[in-house]
């Protein structure tokens, strides 16, 4: 969330014409400031809310992460410096959660974005009842995580789940979805994919509609098939949008929490009997709100933030390199 | 400073925003002195509870409000005790937002006793402290007391344990169904496991059924039969060195490994669904579990279940669960809240809680009351529940409790689930459990 607000802020700063470009005389600068006071007044509420609910918790989390303290004594606790970070890096629970976060992230993000792209492409054609299909696609996104996960965890139930009943009906063996590492991660990835595919498809669709029709006409004159058009006109035009959805989905994947928490079905926070689907978000919750070690939880939160920064940075670098290569 | 009305308006807008985000702090510090207490003044008392404590369902609030027309009771119930405790903790940390009466579960009262005792009314300082103390089992009183003798809450129910079994399924598997004969089948856990093997080998048992619901059923009940459960005498977690844990692990891991259990996560969705589906023939049942069973199975399950003593209970009975009521010391209605708690936890009311809602008393006077001793439970084939749980309660092994009991128990039962699912060998599961317990206690 902080990242998202950060980018919004950068965009806001970048938007007005760079003042330094035309070096004004000192008094003019001052006059400009006063002339802009209404602007500052109007944006002030956002930044105050941002400071109260994003910046302050953010710094406070950093401060708490340097202490050994419990949930019922947040402001007390003893200063331990970077010890929590050292412990975290040596904790097998942390590395297990990191591994799971990445595998679930890949299992959920890759099929999700591919399917979204395909769906958007189909919806871009003139179809009867197009608005209906577009609305339906957004429905999962409007469903609460809790409701969706509760339904899915019943579908994936071992003894009485619909999926196992169907597997058995066609003569296959029932799967203990929750107990296995791969099966539980696939199940959680399905929930995430179900919920987010339509949302991403709509973003792609919006971008597709801004691709000029002449490009397709030209491609058609050159004898390109629909598939070739998709590959060589649609995809390149969507590149910035695809990069955006990858970044957003990755951030979402690193923060994955509600689905694995509720998938357990009995309120436990260990992410399965051997931690097979414990994610970083869930580990943080377990440390802070099941085990009451709020300092450790704050440390994990900061570790997650660092991981997101690195991933977003790598994405940005790749995006820039590609853009330069194209030029 | 302000040059124009325009700029004043701008500053005003910013100021309004500051006020909006500043929130509404400030607490009303109106704790009434005992001297000012007027027992007839109109007062609204809030009671924070969790799960199914049934104080409302048993009609106790209504009764109290009838006796004291000036009192209005409002209950704030949170379904999950873990969620309840989280909000209680943050409120204790801020020492604000607490209800006039706060319920506490055995799973976390040790933490409150250790770290927040001064935020609650100390019952040992009351004029009638001796009388109050005499109302409760000494171990129950002790669980809510600090090492220097302050007692922060009064007991409501306890969880003396027995073993519930399905008569119809026993019959189909060729096992006896009469409670006395069933009791004779399993004086010890080893014999219980032998019966389990016999059941699983029976060709006539209901298809796809198991002998018990989960390895946790064995573990969570037998762990309290040792001298120590999860803690040493000072309440420090020592799961690796406890005789109770070692014994419980031995029995439970054997059941898990041999596939005698349906391997359900207790209190999970599948576990709930398994009751009406008849997936298991026995389940360890503390007194409060009876309510779970009857509400999960409904009318269809009436008369199918019966109750026998817990294996090994001749030597030492055990207690699983139970709750307390405490009064935050800085509340606005402390005196009125104290009166309410004293009344709610008094032996007469505990008798009602048992006869009306199957919560077993934490008071020996109530447990020995003819109404309790003679109580039978129609749903459970008219089993003499008063007698069964009463004997168990009188025999209870007093194991010291600690601040991380819930988490440590979860670490072990989770590892057992893994063993039963074939995810880990027994020894590996033990190591995993200890590691998870270590992580929970903060190592």
CATH code of A229's domain: 1.10.3720.10
> Which pTM value belongs to this model?
0.84
Asked if residue B331 and residue B306 are part of one domain, the reply reads: no
Structural domain count, chain B: 2
DSSP 8-state symbol, A266: S
| CA pair distance A95, A103, nearest whole angstrom | 12
Q: What is the mean pLDDT of residues B167-173?
A: 96
Q: Is the pLDDT of residue A35 over 80?
A: no
Select from A48, A74, A92 the Cβ nearest to the Cβ of B17. Answer: A48
Q: What is the pLDDT of residue A3?
A: 39
Task: Tell me if B214 sits within 8 A of B417, measured CB to CB.
Answer: yes
Select from A34, A160, A290 the Cβ nearest to the Cβ of B270. Answer: A160
Find, among A283, A284, A317, the residue nearest to A298 by Cα: A284
Q: What is the pLDDT of residue A22?
A: 46
Would you say residue A80 lies in a domain?
no
Axis-axis angle for helices A2-14, A294-326 (nearest 10): 40
Asked if residue A106 and residue A21 are part of one domain, the reply reads: no
Q: What is the pLDDT of residue B33?
A: 53
Shortest alpha-carbon distance between residue A133 and chain B (Å): 34
* Residues of chain A with C-beta less than 8 angstroms from the C-beta of B10: 37-38, 40-41
**Which domain does B268 fall in, by range?**
159-320+380-441
Which of A300-314, B24-38, B201-215, B271-285 is the least confident region? Answer: B24-38
Q: Is the pLDDT of residue B101 over 90?
A: yes
Would you tell me how many other CB atoms lie within 10 Å of the CB of residue B397?
18
Asked if residue B282 and residue B139 are part of one domain, the reply reads: no
Would you say residue A157 lies in a domain?
yes
Would you say residue B76 lies in a domain?
yes
**Are B267 and A267 an interchain contact pair (Cβ–Cβ within 8 Å)?**
yes
**Are B265 and A158 an interchain contact pair (Cβ–Cβ within 8 Å)?**
no
* Residues of chain B with C-beta less than 8 angstroms from the C-beta of A38: 6, 10
Asked if residue B410 and residue B341 are part of one domain, the reply reads: no
**Are A52 and B21 an interchain contact pair (Cβ–Cβ within 8 Å)?**
yes
Asked if residue B386 and residue B362 are part of one domain, the reply reads: no
Q: What is the mean pLDDT of residues B399-418?
A: 93
Per-residue pLDDT tens over the stretch B60-82: 999 999 999 999 999 999 988 88
Q: What is the mean pLDDT of residues A43-56?
A: 92
Asked if residue A98 and residue A58 are part of one domain, the reply reads: no
| CA pair distance A65, A9, nearest whole angstrom | 26
Reported as a pLDDT band with limits 50, 70 and 90, residue A29 is: low
Which of A15-19, B52-56, B109-113 is the least confident region? Answer: A15-19
Asked if residue B283 and residue B137 are part of one domain, the reply reads: no
Per-residue pLDDT tens over the stretch A233-252: 999 999 889 989 998 999 99
Structural domain count, chain A: 2
* Residues of chain A with C-beta less than 8 angstroms from the C-beta of B418: 179, 273-274
CA B30 to chain centre: 33
Task: Tell me if A161 sits within 8 A of A184, measured CB to CB.
Answer: no
ipTM computed for the complex: 0.82
Would you say residue A227 lies in a domain?
yes
**In angstroms, what is the C-alpha Rg of chain B?**
25
| CA pair distance A45, A183, nearest whole angstrom | 47
**Are A52 and B268 an interchain contact pair (Cβ–Cβ within 8 Å)?**
no
**Are A265 and B10 an interchain contact pair (Cβ–Cβ within 8 Å)?**
no
Pick the residue of A68, A91, A153, A270 with the most B CBs within 10 A to test the interface with B by mutation. A270
Task: Tell me if B93 sits within 8 A of B115, measured CB to CB.
Answer: no
Residue B73 belongs to domain with CATH number: 3.40.190.10
Higher-confidence residue of A15 and B79: namely B79
Tell how strand B43-50 and strand B280-286 pair up.
unpaired
Would you say residue A103 lies in a domain?
yes
Shortest alpha-carbon distance between residue A39 and chain B (Å): 9
Name every residue in A having a CB less than 8 A away from some CB of B.
34, 37-38, 40-42, 44-45, 48-49, 51-52, 68, 70-75, 91-93, 153-154, 157-160, 176, 179, 264-268, 270, 273-274, 276, 289-293, 296
Asked if residue B174 and residue B200 are part of one domain, the reply reads: yes
Asked if residue A157 and residue A284 are part of one domain, the reply reads: yes
Asked if residue A40 and residue A93 are part of one domain, the reply reads: no
| CA pair distance A152, A140, nearest whole angstrom | 12
Asked if residue A144 and residue A52 are part of one domain, the reply reads: no
Task: Tell me if B296 sits within 8 A of B314, measured CB to CB.
Answer: no
Burial class of residue B207 in the structure, from the number of CB atoms within 10 Å of its CB (0-12 exposed, 13-18 middle, 19+ buried): exposed
Shortest alpha-carbon distance between residue B10 and chain A (Å): 6
Would you say residue B14 lies in a domain?
no
**Which domain does A36 fall in, by range?**
2-64
Q: Which two tokens stand for residue B176?
A: 């006896």
β-partners of residue B285 are B162
Asked if residue A107 and residue A35 are part of one domain, the reply reads: no
Asked if residue A244 and residue A95 are part of one domain, the reply reads: yes
Q: What is the pLDDT of residue A33?
A: 66
Reported as a pLDDT band with limits 50, 70 and 90, residue B53 is: confident
Pick the residue of A38, A40, A41 with the most B CBs within 10 A to test the interface with B by mutation. A41
Average pLDDT of chain B to the nearest whole number: 89
* Residues of chain B with C-beta less than 8 angstroms from the C-beta of A154: 269
Would you say residue B192 lies in a domain?
yes
| CA pair distance A321, B392, nearest whole angstrom | 73
Select from A71, A176, A270 the Cβ nearest to the Cβ of B414. Answer: A270
Give the up-direction half-sphere exposure of residue A79: CA atoms within 13 A in the CB hemisphere.
2
Asked if residue A168 and residue A284 are part of one domain, the reply reads: yes
Task: Tell me if A261 sits within 8 A of A280, measured CB to CB.
Answer: no
Shortest alpha-carbon distance between residue A299 and chain B (Å): 14
Asked if residue A318 and residue A283 are part of one domain, the reply reads: yes
Q: Is the pLDDT of residue B3 over 50?
A: no
Would you tell me how many other CB atoms lie within 10 Å of the CB of residue B153?
27
| CA pair distance A243, A250, nearest whole angstrom | 10
Would you tell me how many other CB atoms lie within 10 Å of the CB of residue B425?
13
Q: Which two tokens stand for residue B106?
A: 């055995």
* Residues of chain B with C-beta less than 8 angstroms from the C-beta of A187: none
């Amino acid at each position: 969330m902080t990242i998202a607000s950060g980018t919004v802020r950068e965009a806001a700063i970048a938007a007005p014409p760079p003042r330094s470009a035309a070096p004004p005389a000192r008094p003019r600068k001052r006059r400009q400031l006063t002339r802009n006071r209404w602007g500052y007044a109007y944006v002030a509420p956002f930044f105050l809310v941002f400071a109260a609910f994003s910046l302050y918790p953010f710094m406070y989390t950093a401060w708490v992460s340097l202490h050994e303290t419990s949930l019922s004594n947040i402001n007390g606790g003893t200063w331990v410096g970077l010890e929590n970070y050292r412990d975290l890096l040596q904790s097998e629970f942390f590395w297990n959660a990191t591994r799971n976060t990445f595998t679930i992230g890949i299992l959920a993000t890759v099929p999700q974005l591919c399917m979204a792209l395909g769906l958007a492409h189909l919806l871009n054609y003139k179809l009867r009842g197009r608005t209906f299909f577009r609305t339906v696609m957004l429905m999962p996104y409007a469903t609460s995580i809790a409701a969706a996960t509760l339904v899915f965890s019943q579908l994936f139930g071992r003894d009485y789940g619909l999926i196992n009943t169907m597997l058995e009906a066609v003569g296959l063996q029932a799967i203990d979805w929750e107990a296995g590492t791969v099966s539980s991660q696939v199940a959680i990835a399905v929930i995430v994919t179900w919920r987010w595919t339509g949302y991403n498809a709509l973003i792609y669709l919006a971008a597709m509609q801004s691709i000029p029709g002449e490009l397709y006409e030209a491609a058609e004159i050159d004898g390109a098939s629909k598939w070739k058009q998709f590959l060589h006109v649609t995809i390149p035009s969507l590149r910035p949008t695809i990069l955006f959805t990858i970044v957003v989905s990755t951030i979402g994947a690193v923060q994955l929490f509600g689905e694995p928490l509720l998938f357990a079905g009995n309120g436990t926070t260990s992410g399965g009997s051997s931690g097979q689907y414990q994610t970083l978000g869930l580990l943080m919750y377990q440390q802070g709100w099941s085990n009451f070690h709020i300092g450790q939880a704050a440390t994990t939160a900061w570790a997650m933030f660092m991981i997101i920064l690195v991933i977003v940075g790598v994405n940005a670098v790749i995006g820039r390199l590609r853009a330069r290569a194209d030029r | 400073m302000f040059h124009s009305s325009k700029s004043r308006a701008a500053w005003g807008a910013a100021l309004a925003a500051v006020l909006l985000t500043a929130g509404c702090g400030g607490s009303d510090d109106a704790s009434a002195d005992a001297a000012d207490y007027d027992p007839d003044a109109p007062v609204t008392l809030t009671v924070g509870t969790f799960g199914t404590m049934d104080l409302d369902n048993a009609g106790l609030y209504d009764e109290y409000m009838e006796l004291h027309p000036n009192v209005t009771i409002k209950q704030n119930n949170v379904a999950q005790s873990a969620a309840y405790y989280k909000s209680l903790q943050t409120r204790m940390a801020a020492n604000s937002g607490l209800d006039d009466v706060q319920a506490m579960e055995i799973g976390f009262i040790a933490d409150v006793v250790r770290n927040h005792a001064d935020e609650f009314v100390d019952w040992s300082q009351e004029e009638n402290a001796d009388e109050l103390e005499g109302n409760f089992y000494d171990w129950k009183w002790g669980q809510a007391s600090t090492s220097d003798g302050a007692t922060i809450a009064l007991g409501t129910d306890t969880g003396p344990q027995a073993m519930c079994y399905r008569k119809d399924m026993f019959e189909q598997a060729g096992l006896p169904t009469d409670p006395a004969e069933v009791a004779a089948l399993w004086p010890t856990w080893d014999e219980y496991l032998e019966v389990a093997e016999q059941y699983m080998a029976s060709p006539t048992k209901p298809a796809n059924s198991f002998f018990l619901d989960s390895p946790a059923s064995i573990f969570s009940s037998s762990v309290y039969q040792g001298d120590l459960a999860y803690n040493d005498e000072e309440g420090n977690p020592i799961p690796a060195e406890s005789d109770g844990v070692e014994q419980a692990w031995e029995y439970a891991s054997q059941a898990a490994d041999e596939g005698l259990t349906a391997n359900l996560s207790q209190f999970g969705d599948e576990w709930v669904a398994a009751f009406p589906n008849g997936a298991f023939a026995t389940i360890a049942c503390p007194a409060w579990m009876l309510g779970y069973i009857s509400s999960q199975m409904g009318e269809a399950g009436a008369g199918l279940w019966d109750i026998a003593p817990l294996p090994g209970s001749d030597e030492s009975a055990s207690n699983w669960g139970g709750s307390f009521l405490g009064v935050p010391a800085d509340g606005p209605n402390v005196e009125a809240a104290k009166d309410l708690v004293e009344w709610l936890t008094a032996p007469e009311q505990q008798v009602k809680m048992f006869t009306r809602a199957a919560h077993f008393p934490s008071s020996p006077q109530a447990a020995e009351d003819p109404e309790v001793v003679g109580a039978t439970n129609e749903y459970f084939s008219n089993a003499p529940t008063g007698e069964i749980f009463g004997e168990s309660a009188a025999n209870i092994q007093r194991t010291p409790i600690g601040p991380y009991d819930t988490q440590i128990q979860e670490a072990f039962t989770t590892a057992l689930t893994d063993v039963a699912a074939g995810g880990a060998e027994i020894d590996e599961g033990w190591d995993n459990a200890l590691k998870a317990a270590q992580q929970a206690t903060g190592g």
